[in-house]
Amino acid sequence: MRLALCPGTFDPITNGHVDIIERSSRLFDRLYVTIFPNPDKAVLFTLQERLEMVREAVAHLPNVTVEAHDGLVSDYVRARGIRVVIRGLRAVTDFEYEFQMAQMNMRLNPEVETCFMMTRPENAYLSSSIVKTVARYGGDVTGLVPPGVAKRLGALFKGR
């Protein structure tokens, strides 16, 4: 069975994330979309909220499992027999960070390969940070995030 991991903070999940997940799900028998902590990021949504949003956004994909893990990607994939980590790239600026992460994962677990997937042009500018900023100041995030995420963001920032 071909297994892969699509890790992220998903705070919140965007349509760019969903596109990468959909495309990856067609390449692998089982795709794990797993929320990992990132100590460099201050999150807006709780872990439970992020799990709910991701599960809702990918519910149409029967071979996708959504989980959370509080540890290293290299340990997670080793425990599940996963050999491929999927990472989306928007621009050259993403590559430097993702390259470093891929090299560290390979050092920690030489069995792991990182597969970089280019975003579609319509998602190249899209990030969770940008979406949160737009929502915080009352901008319309329709079409940038799944409908359930747009609703949560609207409710969160209503009246601010």
Which ranges in the chain belong to alpha helices (H)? 15-25, 47-57, 73-80, 92-108, 128-136, 147-157
Catalytic residue check, 151: no
Q: Which of 17, 50, 87, 152 is catalytic?
A: 17
Q: Which of 23, 30, 90, 120 is catalytic?
A: 90
Q: Which of 41, 60, 136, 151 is catalytic?
A: 41
Q: How would you list the strands of the sheet with 30-35, edge to edge? A: 64-68, 30-35, 3-8, 84-89, 113-118
DSSP SS3 for 95: helix
Tokens, residue 72: 């290293």
Q: Which of 24, 69, 128, 152 is catalytic?
A: 128
Dihedral angle of Cα 15, 28, 77, 64, to the nearest 10 degrees: 50
Return the axis-axis angle of helices 147-157 and 47-57, rounded to nearest 10°: 150
Catalytic residue check, 90: yes
Catalytic residue numbers? 17, 41, 90, 128
